[in-house]
A = this chain, B = another copy of it.
Amino acid sequence: MAHQWIYNFNAKNTDGNRSMKNLLGGKGANLAEMSALGLPVPPGFTITTEACLDYQKNNGQISDEIKNQVSASLNRIEDLTGKKFGDSSNPLLFSVRSGARVSMPGMMDTVLNLGLNDETVEGMAKLTGNERFAWDSYRRFIQMYSNVVMDFNSAILEQTLDSLKEARDAKEDTDLTAEDFKELVAAFKRIILEDSGESFPTDPKEQLWRAIAAVFNSWNNPRAMKYREIHHYSHDWGTAVNVQSMVFGNMGDDSATGVCFTRDPSTGDKRFFGEFLINAQGEDVVAGIRTPMPINEESKNDHNAKLKTLKEAMPKAFDELTELYLKLEAHYKDMQDIEFTIEKNKLYILQTRNGKRTGSAAVKIAVDLFKEKILTKEEALVSMDPEDINQLLHPRLDPKVEKNIIANGLPASPGAASGYIVFNSDDAVQKKEEGQKVILVRLETSPEDINGMVSSEGILTARGGMTSHAAVVARGMGKPCVAGCNALLIDSTKKELIVGDKTYKEGDALTIDGTTGEVMDGIVPTISADISEEFKEFMSWADEYRTLKVRTNADNPADSIQAIEFGAEGIGLCRTEHMFFAPERILAVREMIFANTEQERQTALDKLLPFQKEDFAGIFTEMNGKPVNIRLLDPPLHEFMPHTEEEKQELANSVGLELSDIENRASQLQEFNPMLGHRGCRLGVTYPEIYKMQVRAIIEAAVEVSNKGIKVIPEIMIPLISTKEELAILKKDALEVIDTVFKEKGESVAYKIGTMIELPRAAIVAGDIATEAEFFSFGTNDLTQTTFGLSRDDSGKFLPSYVSKGILSRDPFVSIDQRGVGFLVEHACKEGRKTNEKIHLGICGEHGGEPKSIEFCHKVGLDYVSCSPFRVPIARLAAAQAAIREKKA
């Protein structure tokens, strides 16, 4: 038997199915699937990707065997449709489309109405009773075909059309008549002959062979090759060619075209609805010139309430469509977005796909489909994109209101917010106290902006990426943030923001959408998030399946409460330094920095102790029985230094020094690369009393809260470890303090001491470090910075171009780099478990809230992930999906 180069799809005989994407391309496989299901798909056939490779091997010749098989399939379609290819009375017309295994821009897209010529156009005219339509289709076919198949410069034919419109004083194409189009067809053919030296092919078979060859050739055009290089797709795949018979929704009042959804994509309600137009083509529904009609009562709205429904106009087709949509939903097990055409009362399905939907609709649909027994729980869980949960938890812009977008930045922390501009944190705090809603606009934020961020509705920065300070902290707070918005020119001294040619001043209104990165003029109303019963049910399923625990990154009781509401099972990262910036504390911190002796430093630390203790007690109380992982001081001391002249003078007075001493000390503390500087456990080693104070605060708080009958599980985390010896020394210090406190209090609590793994060396020697640690928490933000040698604060200048050039497939600060950073994480888990089989493993970098990274964490066997409160539900779902996928694999 000869090799099969052609796969047919039609009601009687379909050779393929949706699993055959490599051979038939995505489009061909989908057409086969629908046909095999018995859907009324216009019949056609797919020429395989193997045929494409064969064509190339034969130096651009379609073999006779392939041609024979194409002809056989073509005859079969003639039999099925009763139409004839090239026939002047009942012509069969085709669309020809490319289709690779993945959707790939750059290749030839579509030729419609192939088979038209001077004879068949007359048949079309008679069949449709619309001569103008037939000739318009013909001239469009010539334009399209000459351009994409013959590589003819489309501008020349466009000019001819324009000249004719001018001569006829016609504004639009629709002002031209059938005679005009006839004239145009003649002109086009003449021009093509004159300019290219060859006649436009009028033999339908010739049209077909050349169109097929053009699709094959388009596989290797420069744009397609470039695209494959960027996406690491193989040049050896080839493309399939789909040849499908045309159907027309514009063949008269017994024809129509439309779009429908099997459920409401906005709410998820089980409500079949859609729109259609009689005697129209697909584009007309979209174009909005005529008001589309509702397909049923459920589809009626203010605009179309008085129009006829499809049910009323074409009851038979409507009944067929109803039957089909139920079949499609059951088959694809998801809400479908269906394109249909009715040609002379006969219904055709042109396309069906899983419909796009809002986050809340996604949850409702998944839960309903489970209840309708269409999906299992596992299928329902994997059906939802975890990122879509974002929408559910944050306020969003009212979709009904118009927006005036003035700039675009990075969607750094989801949700929408409106308010009045302030340019610094102090102003934010003050205006907030005065009852105003404010948007904090900064070049970039730093830890001392924390209070201003707390007081703002949203944060907008001109610099920084997805993991800049503003982005990370805003996500932690669940506050909308647009970061790295380069178009902003900010002069915070003048309190001015220039965007394009418009200048905004303090107090001017602005709206940001942290989900999209848009910045808008004025106040755009928002609608608030509401957590539905379905959502709670859905998330409870996720909890049944996941094995990864989900903790949260939280630095204060308020965030802790929020996180518990979202299902957090503990705190994975409590950053103690955020607590240092409150006005009554920062001075003591600075006194500590200026201490000349250990004794002076101790005096300053004694002032901080009660504050830290109070913070920890608050968190322990809220987390009642859930573990709380507290990281000891991490940032370099210069982050706490005063910046303004006033603050410097205040500090000078407080520590009894000259202003110049303050400035000298500040310049001494400056670092070339603070990220790689004197921070983390290095501070603990050089100033042991700082960590000792923090450990004392943690343990005193733990004992006191525990005495109130609240269960407390403190975990003390030492950051930036690179050698086992560092941890051993600091652990010994901590144990001494803990012992002392237990003796003082006459009580003890259980606790753990462990370390961040956030430097490549720590990951490499994890086996050593694990002998001193009860847990590892992977700090993948810093681990990504050091593994790549990439400062996240500086990478904004070139990282976007790295992603767009395909050097990196994703921003490694957003989704963990599994090949590089992941290697270190996996190595550390393996080596750590070798020397300490009880070691508890987690992640507290930003990746802990990103679905792909969470799947990776599940795979390497971490015990938990930790993320900002608002990403906890996302992480719970992603963890469940990872567990389900693993079970299936």
Instruction: State which of A214-222, A407-415, A753-761 sits at the interface with chain B.
Output: A753-761
Q: Which residues of B contact A790 (CB under 8 A)?
A: 676, 722
Does A723 sit within 8 A of B, measured CB to CB? yes
* Contact A673 B764, beta carbon cutoff 8 Å: no
* Contact B676 A820, beta carbon cutoff 8 Å: no
Does A823 sit within 8 A of B, measured CB to CB? yes
Residue tally, chain A, CB below 8 Å to B: 48
Does A726 sit within 8 A of B, measured CB to CB? yes
Does A149 sit within 8 A of B, measured CB to CB? no
Q: Which residues of B contact A871 (CB under 8 A)?
A: none
Give the complex CA separation of A791 and B786 in angstroms: 11
Does A483 sit within 8 A of B, measured CB to CB? no
Does A821 sit within 8 A of B, measured CB to CB? yes
Q: Which residues of B contact A233 (CB under 8 A)?
A: none
Given the interface contacts A671-B794, A760-B760, does A722 sit within 8 Å of B820 by beta carbon?
Answer: yes
Instruction: State which of A105-113, A422-430, A503-511, A800-808 sits at the interface with chain B.
Output: A800-808
What is the CB-to-nearest-CB distance from A718 to chain B, in angstroms, rounded to a whole number?
13
From B720, B787, B794, B823, contact of A672 by CB (8 A): B794
Does A674 sit within 8 A of B, measured CB to CB? yes
* Contact A782 B789, beta carbon cutoff 8 Å: yes
Give the complex CA separation of A729 and B802 in angstroms: 11
Mark contacts of A811-826 with chain B using CB atoms, 8 A cut-off: 1 yes-contact digit, 0 otherwise.
0000001011101100
Instruction: State which of A172-180, A654-662, A677-685 sits at the interface with chain B.
Output: A677-685
* Contact B823 A789, beta carbon cutoff 8 Å: no
Does A837 sit within 8 A of B, measured CB to CB? no
Q: Which residues of B contact A213 (CB under 8 A)?
A: none
Q: Which residues of B contact A798 (CB under 8 A)?
A: 678, 682, 685-686
Mark contacts of A689-729 with chain B using CB atoms, 8 A cut-off: 1 yes-contact digit, 0 otherwise.
00000000000000000000000000000001011011001
Q: Which residues of B contact A765 (CB under 8 A)?
A: 819-820
Q: Which residues of B contact A341 (CB under 8 A)?
A: none
Q: Which residues of B contact A820 (CB under 8 A)?
A: 722, 760-761, 764-765
* Contact A794 B676, beta carbon cutoff 8 Å: yes
Q: Which residues of B contact A797 (CB under 8 A)?
A: 678, 686
From B764, B793, B801, B805, contact of A819 by CB (8 A): B764
Q: Which residues of B contact A807 (CB under 8 A)?
A: 685, 723, 725-726, 729
Q: Which residues of B contact A675 (CB under 8 A)?
A: 672-673, 676, 789, 791
Q: Which residues of B contact A764 (CB under 8 A)?
A: 787, 819-820, 823-824
Does A785 sit within 8 A of B, measured CB to CB? yes
Does A209 sit within 8 A of B, measured CB to CB? no
* Contact A673 B794, beta carbon cutoff 8 Å: yes
Does A788 sit within 8 A of B, measured CB to CB? yes
Given the interface contacts A671-B791, A672-B791, A789-B782, does A801 sit within 8 Å of B760 by beta carbon?
Answer: no
What is the CB-to-nearest-CB distance from A663 to chain B, in angstroms, rounded to a whole number?
14
* Contact A805 B685, beta carbon cutoff 8 Å: yes
What is the CB-to-nearest-CB distance from A478 to chain B, in angstroms, rounded to a whole number?
26
Q: Which residues of B contact A793 (CB under 8 A)?
A: 671-673
Give the complex CA separation of A806 and B724 in angstroms: 11
What is the CB-to-nearest-CB distance from A226 to chain B, in angstroms, rounded to a whole number?
12
Give the complex CA separation of A787 and B795 in angstroms: 19
Given the interface contacts A764-B824, A793-B672, does A759 sit within 8 Å of B785 by beta carbon?
Answer: no
Q: Which residues of B contact A720 (CB under 8 A)?
A: 789
From B676, B795, B817, contact of A761 by CB (8 A): B817
Give the complex CA separation of A821 and B760 in angstroms: 9
Give the complex CA separation of A798 and B785 in angstroms: 22
Q: Which residues of B contact A782 (CB under 8 A)?
A: 789
Give the complex CA separation of A764 and B817 in angstroms: 12
What is the CB-to-nearest-CB distance from A639 to chain B, in angstroms, rounded to a whole number?
11
Give the complex CA separation of A676 and B759 in angstroms: 14
Give the complex CA separation of A827 and B759 in angstroms: 17
What is the CB-to-nearest-CB distance from A725 to chain B, in angstroms, rounded to a whole number?
4
Q: With contacts A673-B673, A761-B817 known, what are 12 further pairs, Cβ within 8 A? A: A672-B674, A672-B675, A674-B794, A676-B791, A677-B795, A682-B798, A686-B798, A720-B789, A725-B807, A760-B824, A761-B789, A786-B787
Top-5 shortest CB links A-B: A676-B791, A673-B791, A761-B820, A760-B760, A759-B789
Q: List 10 A-B contacts (CB under 8 A).
A: A673-B675, A676-B789, A722-B788, A722-B790, A722-B820, A760-B787, A760-B820, A782-B789, A786-B786, A786-B789
Chain A interfacial positions (CB closer than 8 Å to B) = 671-678, 682, 685-686, 720, 722-723, 725-726, 729, 758-761, 764-765, 782, 785-791, 793-795, 797-798, 801-802, 805-808, 817, 819-821, 823-824
